[in-house]
Amino acid sequence: MTAILYVLLLIVVAICVWQIASILNLKSAIATEKDNNTQGILFAVFGIFFYALMIFSFVKYSVILLPESASVEGENYDLLYLITMVLILFVQAITQFLLFYFSFKYRGIKGRKALFYADSHKLEMIWTVIPAITLAGLVLFGLYVWNDVMDISDAENPLIVEVYAKQYIWEARYAGDDNELGIANVRNIKGSNTMGVDLSDKNALDDVPVRELHLPKGRKVIFKFRSQDVLHSAYMPHFRAQMNCVPGMVTQFAFTPKYTTEEMRANSATIAKVAGINKIRAEKGEDPYEFDYLLLCNKICGASHYNMQMKIVVEEEADFNAWIKSKKTIAQVLQ
Amino acid sequence: MSNHHHKETFITKYVFSQDHKMISKQYLVTGIFMGVIGVFMSMLFRLQIAWPDHSFSIIEAFLGRHQDGGVMSPDMYLALVTIHGTIMVFFVLTAGLSGTFSNLLIPLQIGARDMASGFLNMVSYWLFFVSSVIMLISLFVEAGPASAGWTIYPPLSALPQAMPGSGLGMTLWLVSMAIFIASSLLGSLNYIVTVLNLRTVGMKMIRLPLTIWAFFITAIIGVVSFPVLLSAALLLIFDRSFGTSFFLSDIFIQGEVLHYQGGSPVLFEHLFWFLGHPEVYIVLLPALGITSEIISTNSRKPIFGYRAMIGSIIAIAFLSTIVWGHHMFVSGMNPFLGSVFTFTTLLIAIPSAVKSFNYLTTLWKGNLQMNPAMLFSIGLVSTFISGGLTGLVLGDSALDINVHDTYFVVAHFHLVMGVSAIYGMFAGVYHWFPKMYGRMMNKTLGYWHFWITAVAAYGVFFPMHFVGLAGLPRRYYANTAFPLFDDVADVNIVITMFAILGGAAQIIFLSNFFISIYKGKKATQNPWKSNTLEWTTPVEHIHGNWPGEIPQVHRWAYDYSKPGYKEDFVSQTTPLMDGEEES
């Protein structure tokens, strides 16, 4: 790999030197008709390269993309994303074609006069109004999805979980039997009370602190985010979920897990992606990888920002209940 | 002024010059120097991203104690991305681009002998110079330079306990930026006053070349938004050094509770992005102005929809000041604000679409003269469209949730403002080099420079979208901590190879630039057969620009291939013929 790199470098430097030598004799500065011709053709060639690169990337790289949304709320996200992408690619394909085609077609010829065409209100009206209408549609659907995701006032019997960030560890706290989190502040941090839970709060004692997130399938989960030091961002890409964790305030996000971890592992896109990953890992002699949902940090937070993660397990409600029962409450941990 | 001959020494002519043409060259050379450093940094961290565990002698050679056996430290990685961003956005694409071309072209294209205040102009450059020096000094601080990202969000940037770069390195960053902002404000005020007051007879606002409109509006956004960043920087200095709590609250770090209470990092984000977003357009609008001028000249056609172009510049500028919240959709601010900012953000697509289509129509049925400046201008239109379209994803609060802070964002803004603005800058350099140095740049090298850069730029940033869509966050020292991202490693290698190719291609530009200053072909007065006033000045620079009277202006700047004229260009100084209508 590195060899190719140095060869590339060498080629560029060689071109450089050769050209610098010629600059002293050539002294050519203004495009001639011959240049116009060559460069115009090169634009056509570049246009082909451009489309080839686009098609190549989509064919080659679509396998690395995230599989379908693992949350119910993310379904609309995926639909909106698809619509937007189709629109983008449509406009991209047409405008870039026109750009490269015009550059090729109208390359300068001596003696030809360009068309004096300075204005057309009709044309300008067309390309003001059409984008405006299209955008209005996108905005409306976008706002619908946004409000659907962010408005959690109508959630019925949601599960409340606190996700707690610090350099470079995630922790979490379930609200316990009363489904209400006890208040907390960094000033209470002491010993094993790593999240600064206020033990004098009656809601606090049944809270369950954990280092791995388990979520029940089909039940809405409301996440409350806190950070004890710098900004972090709780990013759960498979669920189309992200929210910053801000010291001094509590932020929130909610979604309803749609597929258990097992179901997601059986998803065809996941299987293809995991197969690709394991092929690479086998070449490097590493253990095979098994798919898991993840929580990553997505806001620069210091040296180990790149390795701040927590595993998420989505399971059937019964399994989840059994799991949470097996965990100690704050009161039990701190005794 | 012009008939008052005062003797110039080396110092007053080349160092503390008050002549806008010399100041413009000073800006350009300083900007290029900073650009070389900024691009070189990106080469280093791209090596790290592509081959995280590999030892590189070049890293060992340059990073000293911040590397171990040729592998950079995570803190140094973050420092490099931080300083790369800072240098490219502010020192190259703000000062280097605006500083160079606003200074060069405003007096020359409006028909003025110099800027309204030559002295302030000189002070502006030297403040920029001092801030550049401080920024470079910060690279040599023992604990390393600022490394909290170019957005320097507190608490990370406020607490030396959080990362070593937030100590002296961050202090120097803030001091450097405060001085930079002072420089930028002095420059902008000068541009605004000059455009408003010093236009020659007949140069109505509606006859100004689009370059001047772009510089003028850019200066206004700068004056509106840069002071807000200054205030944010000052408050951050207060929090860091004097114990205030503007941006900090409830922090427990390294085993102790800090005294800060009641502040909010989100407040900083608001203040930062109130500049940060308009900054995108401070960078981009001058490039679009330059491109408008060059595309029209080299198409031998009037720019299509001159008034719509002005309207869209103004609309973009206005909207740019009310969209900053789209950087903060997942910051924890009220979701309702997210809705508002989505609406205002997507509105920007309309004037942007108008500009793009107007460029295309200008090319249509033109007689394209493929000079290097023209190639870069066409390249700009292409990257502006490619990068701008993905803004539809990022500007939409709902869609932003999952791509926020991933490589998708990096790919988007590098195309739409990084590559586009740099193309605009290159186009400007190739086009106005004869005006600056009295010589021409070599076209063959220009062609090589463009084509390698164009292939490399798309080779880098097109695949990068997919890395982001795979969910890889930006500013990750390595993707090795997640088996999930093992399959983006190959893409990252491709990206890095193209990045090195693109970086190396700039050697062609640098050679061409510096050799042409001394050995380039002597320029004629109007090499590109252009209409604008700067080409009516003599090739040799003189103080006051025109030897005699300042020419009067009788028409707009875009009478190319106008029916009824023998030549395919009509200078702005040519009076209208009997019965001729002004376009």
Q: What is the ipTM of this complex?
A: 0.94
* Angstrom distance (rounded) from CA A279 to CA A288: 9
How confident is the model over B150-209, as pLDDT tens digits?
Answer: 999 999 999 999 999 999 999 999 999 999 999 999 999 999 999 999 999 999 999 999
CA neighbours closer than 13 Å in the CB half-sphere of residue B277: 24
Q: What is the pLDDT of residue B7?
A: 65
- The answer to whether position B254 is within a domain reads no
Among A13, A150, A248, the residue with its CB nearest the CB of B250 is A248
* Region of poorest pLDDT, from B6-20, B157-171, B511-525: B6-20
Q: Out of 3.30.379.10, 2.60.40.2220, 2.60.40.420, 2.70.70.10, which CATH number does the structure's domain A159-334 have? A: 2.60.40.420
Do the Cβ atoms of A187 and B257 come within 8 Å? yes
Of B470, B253, B468, the C-alpha closest to A302 is B253
Tell me the backbone φ, ψ of residue B104, rounded to 5 degrees: -70, -45
Quote the minimal CA–CA distance from A86 to chain B in Å: 11
* Angstrom distance (rounded) from CA B195 to CA B218: 12
Chain B partners within 8 Å of A228 (Cβ): 250-253
Chain B partners within 8 Å of A59 (Cβ): none
Sign of CA dihedral B548, B550, B553, B557: positive
Among A30, A76, A231, the residue with its CB nearest the CB of B265 is A231
Do the Cβ atoms of A53 and B397 come within 8 Å? no
Do the Cβ atoms of B487 and A114 come within 8 Å? no
- Per-residue pLDDT averaged across B524-544, rounded? 94
Q: What is the pLDDT of residue B16?
A: 87
Q: What is the pLDDT of residue A21?
A: 61
> Token match 């009370």: residue?
A193
Query: Do B355 and B495 fall within a single domain?
Result: yes
- The answer to whether position B94 is within a domain reads yes
- Distant-in-sequence, close-in-space partners of B257: CB < 8 Å, separation ≥ 6: A186, A187, A189, B251
Q: What is the pLDDT of residue B1?
A: 42
Among A146, A185, A187, the residue with its CB nearest the CB of B339 is A146
Q: What is the pLDDT of residue B311?
A: 96
Of B222, B219, B240, the C-alpha closest to B230 is B222
- Distant-in-sequence, close-in-space partners of A274: CB < 8 Å, separation ≥ 6: A265, A289, A290, A291
Chain B partners within 8 Å of A9 (Cβ): 500, 504
Sign of CA dihedral B100, B104, B107, B108: negative
Chain A partners within 8 Å of B159 (Cβ): 229-230
- The answer to whether position B273 is within a domain reads no
- The answer to whether position B540 is within a domain reads yes
Do the Cβ atoms of B370 and A40 come within 8 Å? yes
Residue-range definition of the domain harbouring residue B534: 523-583
Query: Is the separation of the CB atoms in B426 and B509 below 8 Å?
Result: yes
Chain B partners within 8 Å of A231 (Cβ): 153, 155-156, 265
Indicate the pLDDT class of residue B64, thresholds 50, 70 and 90.
Answer: confident
Structure tokens at A226: 């806190």
Query: Do B459 and B558 fall within a single domain?
Result: no
Strand partners for B397? none
- Per-residue pLDDT averaged across B543-554, rounded? 93
3-state SS assignment for residue B362: helix
Quote the minimal CA–CA distance from A124 to chain B in Å: 7
Is residue B46 pLDDT above 90, yes or no? yes
Query: Is the separation of the CB atoms in B288 and B424 below 8 Å?
Result: yes
Question: Domains of chain A: which residue ranges?
Answer: 159-334
Do the Cβ atoms of B252 and A229 come within 8 Å? yes
Single-letter code of the amino acid located at B231: S
Query: Is the separation of the CB atoms in A208 and A161 below 8 Å?
Result: no
Query: Do B346 and B475 fall within a single domain?
Result: yes
* Angstrom distance (rounded) from CA A275 to CA A58: 18
Q: 373-392 in B: which are within 8 Å (CB) of A?
A: 374-375, 378, 381-382, 385-386, 389-390, 392
Quote the minimal CA–CA distance from B126 to chain A in Å: 33
Do the Cβ atoms of A151 and B452 come within 8 Å? no
* Angstrom distance (rounded) from CA B166 to CA B138: 11
Query: Is the separation of the CB atoms in B436 and B28 below 8 Å?
Result: yes
Do the Cβ atoms of B398 and A145 come within 8 Å? yes
- Give CA separation, B329 vs A150, B334, B389, in Å: 11, 9, 19
Do the Cβ atoms of B401 and A64 come within 8 Å? no
Quote the minimal CA–CA distance from A332 to chain B in Å: 24
3-state SS assignment for residue B579: coil
Single-letter code of the amino acid located at B277: H
Quote the minimal CA–CA distance from B318 to chain A in Å: 17
- The answer to whether position B290 is within a domain reads no
Of the candidates B497, B521, B545, which is a domain's last residue? Answer: B521
Q: B131: domain CATH number?
A: 1.20.210.10
Q: What is the pLDDT of residue A231?
A: 96
Among A46, A84, A100, the residue with its CB nearest the CB of B396 is A84
Q: What is the pLDDT of residue B2?
A: 43
Query: Is the separation of the CB atoms in A170 and A212 below 8 Å?
Result: no
- What does the CA dihedral A110, A115, A118, A124 come to, rounded to 10 degrees? -120
B339 touches chain A (CB under 8 A): yes
Pairing of strands B71-72, B67-68: antiparallel
* Angstrom distance (rounded) from CA B264 to CA B257: 16
- The answer to whether position B496 is within a domain reads yes
Of the candidates B184, B214, B249, which is a domain's last residue? Answer: B249
Q: What is the pLDDT of residue B62?
A: 86
Query: Do B362 and B345 fall within a single domain?
Result: yes
Nearest chain A residue to B397 by CA: give it.
A146
Domains: count for chain B: 3
Task: Give, for B278, the enclosing helix (H) or strand (E).
Answer: helix B265-299
How confident is the model over B109-124, as pLDDT tens digits?
Answer: 999 999 999 999 999 9
Q: What is the pLDDT of residue A26?
A: 60
B366 touches chain A (CB under 8 A): yes
Query: Do B145 and B160 fall within a single domain?
Result: yes
Is residue B107 pLDDT above 80, yes or no? yes
The residue among B150, B400, B402, B406 with the most chain A CBs within 10 A of its CB, best to mutate, is B402
Q: Which residue stretches of chain A have pLDDT < 50?
A: 1
Is residue B3 pLDDT above 60, yes or no? no
Among B339, B442, B561, the residue with its CB nearest the CB of A23 is B442
SS (HEC) of chain A: CHHHHHHHHHHHHHHHHHHHHHHHHHCCCCCCHHHHHHHHHHHHHHHHHHHHHHHHHHHHHHHHCCCCCCECCHHHHHHHHHHHHHHHHHHHHHHHHHHHHHHHHCECCCCCCCCCCCCCHHHHHHHHHHHHHHHHHHHHHHHHHHHHHHCCCCCCCCEEEEEEEECCEEEEEECCCCCCCCCECHHHCECCECCCECCCCCCCCCCEEECCEEEECCCCEEEEEEECCCCEEEEEHHHCEEEEECECCCEEEEECECCCHHHHHCCHHHHHHHHHHHHHHHHCCCCCCCCCEEEEECCCCCHHHHHCEEEEEEECHHHHHHHHHCCCCHHHHHC
Structure tokens at A99: 């750009």
Sign of CA dihedral B266, B271, B272, B278: positive
Nearest chain A residue to B491 by CA: give it.
A61
A190 burial level (CB within 10 Å; 0-12, 13-18, 19+): exposed
Query: Do B351 and B427 fall within a single domain?
Result: yes
Q: 428-487 in B: which are within 8 Å (CB) of A?
A: 440-445, 447-448, 451-452, 454-455, 458-459, 462-463, 465-467, 469-471, 473, 475-479, 481-484, 486-487
Do the Cβ atoms of B371 and A31 come within 8 Å? yes
Of B238, B102, B247, the C-alpha closest to B174 is B238
Among B397, B442, B504, the residue with its CB nearest the CB of A146 is B397
Q: 149-178 in B: which are within 8 Å (CB) of A?
A: 149, 153-156, 159, 162-163
* Angstrom distance (rounded) from CA B49 to CA B416: 22
Single-letter code of the amino acid located at A238: H
Q: What is the pLDDT of residue A24?
A: 59
* Angstrom distance (rounded) from CA A241 to CA A233: 10
Do the Cβ atoms of A249 and B266 come within 8 Å? yes
Nearest chain A residue to B149 by CA: give it.
A300
Of A147, A145, A144, the C-alpha closest to A78 is A145
Of the candidates B186, B219, B249, which is a domain's last residue? Answer: B249
- The answer to whether position B307 is within a domain reads no
- Per-residue pLDDT averaged across B31-42, rounded? 96
Among A77, A138, A277, the residue with its CB nearest the CB of B483 is A277
* Angstrom distance (rounded) from CA B457 to CA B506: 12
* Angstrom distance (rounded) from CA B376 to CA B385: 14
B563 burial level (CB within 10 Å; 0-12, 13-18, 19+): exposed
Do the Cβ atoms of A135 and B346 come within 8 Å? yes
Pairing of strands A169-174, A159-166: antiparallel
> If you count them, how many residues does chain A have?
335
Structure tokens at B126: 């030297």
Do the Cβ atoms of B463 and A8 come within 8 Å? no
Query: Is the separation of the CB atoms in B121 and B20 below 8 Å?
Result: yes
Single-letter code of the amino acid located at A296: L
Query: Do B351 and B445 fall within a single domain?
Result: yes
Query: Is the separation of the CB atoms in B304 and A119 below 8 Å?
Result: yes
- Per-residue pLDDT averaged across B526-532, rounded? 95
> If you count them, how many residues does chain B have?
583
How confident is the model over B210-232, as pLDDT tens digits?
Answer: 999 999 999 999 999 999 999 99
Chain A partners within 8 Å of B527 (Cβ): 29-30
> Token match 């420092």: residue?
B79
Do the Cβ atoms of A289 and B483 come within 8 Å? yes
Query: Is the separation of the CB atoms in B175 and B196 below 8 Å?
Result: no
Chain B partners within 8 Å of A189 (Cβ): 252, 257
Of B184, B264, B194, B196, the C-alpha closest to B228 is B184
Query: Do B426 and B558 fall within a single domain?
Result: no
Structure tokens at B434: 């004869």
Strands in B135-201 per DSSP E: none
Q: 481-500 in B: which are within 8 Å (CB) of A?
A: 481-484, 486-491, 493, 497, 500
Do the Cβ atoms of B487 and A276 come within 8 Å? yes
* Angstrom distance (rounded) from CA A46 to CA A37: 14
Query: Is the separation of the CB atoms in B553 and B111 below 8 Å?
Result: yes
* Angstrom distance (rounded) from CA A96 to CA A49: 12
* Angstrom distance (rounded) from CA A280 to CA B82: 31
